[in-house]
């Protein structure tokens, strides 16, 4: 089996490389290097790399953030309602009656 290095036609280094490769072949150094790098080991057995489903412990934080955001939104809505109720002049209804009236209007 022969070895070679591709070079342009008429390269000045072609003869030098040919002689160096022949010398390495005669000294059996190319065979030693081949065994060292290519015959050594085998690739490890391939494991199953399929994606695994997410469990509750992986996505539980999302629900915590969602509930916290919902609570903040409800608190801000009630605060805005109370603020607007206080700003409206001439309102004799109680806050509970006004909230019930607003909720009835929404439904």
Whether 58 maps to a domain, the answer reads no
Structural domain that includes position 82: 63-106
Whether 100 maps to a domain, the answer reads yes
Whether 5 maps to a domain, the answer reads yes
Whether 51 maps to a domain, the answer reads no
Instruction: Indicate if the pLDDT at residue 13 is higher than 80.
Output: yes
State the total domains in the chain.
2
Instruction: Indicate if the pLDDT at residue 95 is higher than 80.
Output: no
Whether 45 maps to a domain, the answer reads no
- Looking at the chain, the whole-number percentage of residues with pLDDT higher than 90 is 25
pLDDT at 40 (0 to 100): 67
Whether 102 maps to a domain, the answer reads yes
pLDDT at 94 (0 to 100): 74
Whether 82 maps to a domain, the answer reads yes
Q: What is the pLDDT of residues 16-52, one digit of tens each?
A: 998 999 999 999 998 888 888 887 667 777 777 777 7
Residues 100, 67, single domain; the answer is yes
**What is the C-alpha separation between 60 and 38, in angstroms, rounded?**
49
DSSP codes of every residue in 56-89: HHHHHHHHHHHHHHHHHHHHHHHHHHHHHHHHST
Which of the pair, 47 or 92, is modelled with greater confidence?
47
Is residue 74 very low, low, confident or very high in pLDDT (cuts 50, 70, 90)?
Answer: very high
**What is the C-alpha separation between 95 and 37, in angstroms, rounded?**
84
Whether 57 maps to a domain, the answer reads no
Q: Identify the sign of the CA torsion 85, 87, 88, 93.
A: positive
């Amino acid at each position: 089996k022969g070895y070679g290095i591709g070079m342009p036609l008429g390269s000045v280094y072609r003869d030098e490389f040919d002689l160096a490769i022949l010398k390495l072949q005669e000294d059996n150094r190319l065979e030693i290097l081949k065994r060292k790098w290519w015959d050594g080991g085998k690739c490890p057995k391939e494991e199953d790399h399929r994606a695994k489903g997410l469990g509750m412990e992986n996505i539980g934080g999302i629900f915590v953030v969602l509930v916290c955001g919902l609570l903040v939104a409800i608190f801000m809505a009630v605060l805005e309602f109370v603020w607007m109720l206080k700003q409206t002049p001439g309102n004799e209804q109680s806050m509970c009656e006004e909230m019930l009236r607003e909720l009835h209007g929404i439904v």
